[in-house]
Structure 1
């Protein structure tokens, strides 16, 4: 029961307060550790085997080092003071969830579009996506925002809740460390193709189940809100595997089905053109209204997921 209460408290703190930000944010500290390890271990002389091995060492050092350290710390805190244990768990859970920030970023894009300020919408979208946004049309801004809301629903809400419900804040720590490794090192460019390989693959493994579960909550939320819940499921099972990512295609295609829109297409990264598979069907236009609908689905889907994983946490607590 303590684990479930910690999960609920951490979620509500994130929903009402948002990220703590700055140097107090645990994920920022994780990022600095990764940056330091990269500087120390990235080989001066390029060789794919050496880069692959050292990239694997970074993953083991970060995930294993932080995981083992907190495992013993939480054992000590739990035996010393249940209150201090709960404070530590809640603070970490608060840091590992990013629903409020995700909603705020999406609302900023929609507000700019509603006010007819396309340049501001493009600038706001930069906080959500890695693609070039300077020359996007209105419907392309909407597409990018909806795609990011769907994918981040898994990365920022579903997956952390999944692992926290099973293993407490320790599970969240391992997931967010892996996810941050992927976001910093898991690129397919010349520098990181081999060095970041282990980071990207481990992130794929940890996201495998949460990404597929996410379509259920998107579909349920869509049905409650009067959107196309059944279509969310059918489109996800039809189109998810078309996506380059083994996981991102599931929430994105489910969101496409729920909204009745087609996602995917041409994006530019650093001026380089990349084509992604189309997800969903062209039923409705990609207007700013679609962002509002996606935000509602993400918000309700997150609370549905909270209820589900709170029950899981209670059951796991009884077993353990």
Structure 2
């Protein structure tokens, strides 16, 4: 096995372990720093224009990817430095532990009937308008967000790190962050954020479907069934308006025996997400099952990413 591939694989596993044990860095999180810089640039560059937005996305994502390329080139003959940088980059771009913590906290708030606090807390998971949501809708929103973010914040960065190393890790996280910032179809970002949203769709096409397969394979470890998860994925994965989000959400729905999807509001824009799954409506206890499934899927993705890195 070439040393370079082994170093990348070891860095990915170590970074995944660091995220699982410690979660996000407490201060000076590089993703937050990137978001602040990108936000400041957006305020200066914004125009109701797709070309202007495309240039913005290219500059922001290109800067992050370029940093990864420079780090990759500077460590090509320094295996320990390559390992350390890969582990550090993997740690900061992953969000598995933070996602699980938010899911458990939402479950606790809903279990105790603290709907106002749960509405406020939902913003930590997604940008959905929660002002009118009741306990059932909050539970559904949180469950869907755990499923979608298992792909976006765990599976996808690991796979991009496996196939493209440091540029893949940093470039993917930059695009995903831009999508969260400007990709929603609000009046301000309908045109300016179009390129960021479409690029994020493209880079998640394969990871989202890999995440759905890993969800099905992992289902028994979270009390679910492989066949039910695969059946829901095949039947409902394309019902979602996003080409990617519905893949893992449908697989989670089948694995947990739930029915997800419905009408959601984002910044005043109402969107019908279709029906995902043919089970019952989710309850707060299902959030804990979703968290368990998310953690198992993340561990499986880390092993697959390491294997891909070695094979590459």
Q: What range describes the TM-score normalised by the shorter chain of this pair?
A: over 0.9
Which entry has the higher C-alpha Rg, 1 or 2?
1
- Out of 146, 149, 152, the residue aligned to residue 146 of structure 2 is 149
Name the structure 2 match of 1:315.
Answer: 311
- Unpaired runs of at least 5, structure 1: none
Quote the Cα distance in structure 2 between the aligned partners of 1:136 and 1:52: 33
Quote the Cα distance in structure 1 between the aligned partners of 2:185 and 2:266: 12
- Out of 257, 282, 286, the residue aligned to residue 286 of structure 1 is 282
Q: Is it true that 1:186 corresponds to 2:183 in the alignment?
A: yes
Tell me how large the CA RMSD over aligned residues is. Answer: 1.7
Quote the Cα distance in structure 2 between the aligned partners of 1:266 and 1:187: 16
Quote the Cα distance in structure 1 between the aligned partners of 2:85 and 2:294: 27
Name the structure 1 match of 2:251.
Answer: 254
1:79-98 map, 5 Å = 79=77, 81-98=78-95
Question: 1:189 deviation in Å?
Answer: 2.2
Change (3 A) 1:52 1:15: same
Name the structure 2 match of 1:268.
Answer: 265
1:96-175 map, 5 Å = 96-175=93-172
Q: Report the more deviating stretch, 147-156 or 269-278.
A: 269-278
Q: Is it true that 1:227 corresponds to 2:224 in the alignment?
A: yes
Give the TM-score of the pair, scaled to structure 2: 0.93
Give the TM-score of the pair, scaled to structure 1: 0.90
Q: Is the 8 A contact 2:68 2:168 kept in 1?
A: no
Quote the Cα distance in structure 1 between the aligned partners of 2:241 and 2:153: 20
Q: Report the more deviating stretch, 223-232 or 175-184.
A: 223-232
Name the structure 2 match of 1:74.
Answer: 72
- Out of 47, 55, 58, the residue aligned to residue 57 of structure 1 is 55
Name the structure 2 match of 1:36.
Answer: 40
Change (3 A) 1:70 1:215: closer
Change (3 A) 1:165 1:275: same
Ranked by relative contact order (alpha carbons within 8 Å, sequence separation 6 or more), the top structure is 2
Quote the Cα distance in structure 1 between the aligned partners of 2:297 and 2:272: 29
Q: Is the 8 A contact 1:182 1:196 kept in 2?
A: yes
Quote the Cα distance in structure 1 between the aligned partners of 2:240 and 2:171: 26
Aligned length: 307
